[in-house]
Amino acid sequence: MPKVEILDAPKRLDASNVDAFKQRALGVLEEGKVIVVDFSDTTFIDSVGLGCLVSLLKRAASRDGAKVVLCSLTPQVTQIFEMTRLYRLFDVFDTKEDVEAAV
Amino acid sequence: MRPGESRQLRVAGASEEVRELALFCRECVDSLFSGMDASLIELAVVEAANNVVKHAYASEDDSFLDLIVRHRGDTLEFTLLDNGRPFDIESLRSPSFEWDRVEDVPENGWGVFLMRSIMDVVDYRRNDGTNVMKMVKKLPEEVVGPLLRETKSSRLIDFESEKCLRESETALDEMVEELSSAYEALNIFYSLSRDVALVSDVNTFLSNTLGKVLSGVGGATWGTIRFKDGDVLTLRASAGACPEEALVAEKAIDGDSPEAEASASLKRVFSDNYEGCPFQVMCLPIVGLDEFIGTVLVGKPPEEDLFSAGDAKLARAMADQIAVSVENSRLYSKALDAELAERELAIATALQKKLIQKELPEIRGLRFHMISTTAKQVGGDYATVLKMDDDSVYVFVSDAMGKGMSASNFALLSHMAVHSIVLQQHRRGISPGGILSLINEVMADDFDLFGMFMTALLVKIKPRKNHLSYASAGHCPPIMAAPDGTLEVLDTSDFMLGVERGIKYADFKKRMPPGARLLLYSDGLTDVMDKDTGEALGLDFLLAVCQDKLCAGNIDTACDAIFDAVIRETGKPIQDDISIVGVERVYD
pLDDT (tens digit per residue) in B320-363: 777 777 776 666 555 555 444 455 555 556 666 666 777 888 89
Q: Where do runs of H (alpha helix) occur along B364-521?
A: 404-425, 432-442, 444-450
Tally the domains of chain B: 3
Last residue of a domain, one of B153, B188, B214: B153
Residues of A in contact with B114 (CB under 8 A): 46-47, 80, 83-84
Best mutation target among B107, B108, B114, B119 (most A Cβ atoms within 10 Å) is B107
Do residues B409 and B450 both lie within one domain?
Answer: yes
pLDDT above 70 for B172? no
CB proximity list for B19: less than 8 A, separation 6 or greater: A12, A14, A16
More confident: B102 or B334 = B102
Q: What percent of chain B has pLDDT over 90?
A: 22
Q: Please report the pLDDT score of residue B268 as a whole number.
A: 52
Top pLDDT among B144 and B385 is at B385
Whether B481 is covered by a domain: the verdict is: yes
How confident is the model at residue B153, as a pLDDT? Answer: 35
pLDDT for B164: 47
- Indicate whether B200 and B112 sit together in one domain: no
> Which site among A16, A18, A39, A48 would you substitute to test the B interface, given the most B Cβ atoms closer than 10 Å to its Cβ?
A48
**E-state strands within B474-577:** 479-481, 487-489, 508-511, 517-521
State mean pLDDT over B156-185. Answer: 48
Pairs across A and B, CB distance < 8 A: 69
Are the beta carbons of A87 and A81 closer than 8 angstroms?
yes
**Cβ within 8 Å of residue B149, ≥6 positions away:** none
**B198 Ramachandran zone, left/alpha/beta (phi>0; psi -120 to 50):** alpha
Residue B17 included in any domain: yes
pLDDT in tens, B274-290: 444 444 777 888 887 66
B474 vs B494: CA distance, rounded Å? 6
What is the overall mean pLDDT for chain B?
77
- Do B139 and B201 share a domain, yes or no? no
Kindly state whether A91 is in contact with chain B, defined as any CB-CB distance less than 8 angstroms.
no
Instruction: Give CA–CA dist B39/B156, Å, rounded.
Output: 35
Looking at residues A33-40, what average pLDDT do you find?
92
Break chain A into its structural domains and give their ranges: 4-98
For residue B558, pLDDT beyond 90 = yes
pLDDT band for position B376 (50/70/90)? low
Q: Is B114 on the interface with A (CB under 8 A)?
A: yes
Range of the domain at B297: 179-340
Residues B327 and B467 in one domain: no
Do B100 and B191 share a domain, yes or no?
no
Question: Which residues make beta-bridge pairs with B79?
Answer: B68, B134
pLDDT at residue B264 above 60? yes
Does B542 or B191 have the greater pLDDT score?
B542
Most confident of A76-90, B78-92, B203-217: A76-90
Q: Which residues share a beta bridge with A67?
A: A34
SS3 B206: helix
Distance from B58 to chain A by nearest Cα, in Å?
Answer: 15
Interface probe for A, chosen from B96, B105, B113, B114 (most Cβ of A below 10 Å), is B105
Residues B38, B117 share a domain: yes
> What is the model's pLDDT at position B405?
65
Separation between Cα atoms, residue B482 and residue B421, nearest integer Å: 31
Kindly identify which residue of chain A lies nearest to residue B43, measuring between CA atoms. Answer: A46
Chain A CB within 8 Å of residue B26 CB: no
Give the residue from B70, B18, B65 showing the smallest Cα distance to B44. B18
DSSP state for residue A2 in the 8-state scheme: -
Which of A4-8, B206-210, B547-551 has the least mean pLDDT? B206-210
Confirm if B366 and B583 have CB atoms less than 8 A apart. Answer: yes
Q: Are residues B235 and B296 in the same domain?
A: yes
In this model, does residue B196 exceed pLDDT 70?
Answer: no
**Does B204 share its domain with B61?**
no
Q: B407 with B485, same domain?
A: yes
Query: Could you give the 3-state DSSP secondary structure of residue B228?
Result: strand
With respect to residue B166, please indicate whether it lies within any of the assigned structural domains. Answer: no
Asked whether residue B489 carries a pLDDT value surpassing 60, the answer given is: yes
Contacts of B303 (CB under 8 A, 6+ apart): none
Residues B299 and B331 in one domain: yes
Q: Does A58 contact chain B (CB < 8 Å)?
A: yes
Q: Is A6 on the interface with B (CB under 8 A)?
A: no
Contact between A47 and B111 using a beta-carbon 8 Å cutoff: yes
Domain stop point among B312, B340, B368? B340
Which residue from B minimizes the CA distance to A17? B16
pLDDT value at position B162? 47
Q: Which CATH number do you get for residue B83?
A: 3.30.565.10
B413 touches chain A (CB under 8 A): no
Whether residue B102 lies within 8 A of chain A, CB to CB, comes out as yes
Looking at residues B452-464, what average pLDDT do you find? 92
Per-residue pLDDT reduced to its tens digit, B490-510:
988 778 898 888 889 999 999
Judge contact between B446 and B379, C-beta under 8 A. no
Which of B203-207, B362-366, B575-579 has the weakest average pLDDT?
A: B203-207
Residue B468's pLDDT is what? 95
Residue B463 in any domain: the answer is: yes
| Cα angle B131, B132, B136; round to 5 | 155
pLDDT at residue B152, as a whole number: 36
Helix, strand, or coil (residue A55): helix
Res. B367 pLDDT band, cuts 50 70 90: very high
Residue B63 or B67, more confident: B67
DSSP state of B451: T
| Residue of A29, A42, A43, A47 best to disrupt the B interface, most CBs of B under 10 A | A47
Instruction: Check CB contact under 8 Å for B117 and A83.
Output: yes
Residue B353 falls inside a structural domain: no
Instruction: Pick A4-98's CATH classification: 1.10.357.10, 3.30.750.24, 3.40.50.150, 1.10.1040.10.
Output: 3.30.750.24
* pLDDT tens digits, one per residue of B567-576: 887 766 666 7
Is position B246 within any domain?
yes
Q: How confident is the model at residue B526 (pLDDT cuts 50, 70, 90)?
A: confident
> For chain A, where are the alpha helices, taking DSSP H only?
18-30, 47-61, 75-83, 96-102
B104 touches chain A (CB under 8 A): no
Q: What is the pLDDT of residues B15-58, one digit of tens each?
A: 788 888 999 999 999 889 988 899 999 999 999 998 888 777 65
Least Cα separation, residue A34 to chain B (angstroms):
17
pLDDT of residue A52: 92
Q: Would you state the pLDDT for residue A79?
A: 92
Q: ∠B292-B294-B295 over CA atoms, to 5°?
A: 125
Q: Provide the edge-to-edge strand list for the sheet that holds B281-287.
A: B250-252, B232-240, B222-229, B292-299, B281-287
pLDDT at res. B478: 95
What ipTM did this prediction achieve? 0.90
Does the CB of B103 have a partner CB in chain A at under 8 Å? Answer: yes
Whether B475 shows a pLDDT value over 80: the answer reads yes
Q: In this complex, is the C-beta atom of B108 within 8 Å of any C-beta atom belonging to chain A?
A: yes
Q: Do B107 and A89 lie within an 8 Å CB cutoff?
A: no
The CATH number of residue B207's host domain is: 3.30.450.40
CA pair distance A80, A40, nearest whole angstrom: 15
Co-location of B217 and B137 in the same domain: no
Residues B450 and B447: their CA atoms lie apart, in Å, by 5
Mark whether B235 and B88 lie in a shared domain: no
Q: Is A88 on the interface with B (CB under 8 A)?
A: no
pLDDT value of position B227:
85
Read off the pLDDT of each residue in B384-401 and give the average, rounded to a whole number. Answer: 91
CATH number of the domain enclosing B500: 3.60.40.10
Neighbours of B69 (CB within 10 A): 23
Q: How far apart are the first and last CA of chain B?
A: 18
Helix (H, G, I), strand (E, B) or coil at A62: coil
What pLDDT, in 10s, does the model give residues B428-441?
778 999 999 999 98
| Residues whose CB falls within 8 Å of the CB of residue B108, separated by 6 or more in sequence, listed in order | A47, A51, B95
Burial track B481-516 (b if 16+ CB lie within 10 A, e otherwise): beeeeebeebebebebbbeeeebebbbbebebeeeb
By the 8 A CB rule, do A41 and A10 touch?
yes
- Per-position b or e across B261-282, b if 16+ CB within 10 A of its CB: bbebbbeebbeeebeeebbbbb
Full-model pTM: 0.47
B46 touches chain A (CB under 8 A): yes
Rounded CA separation A3/B412 (Å): 76
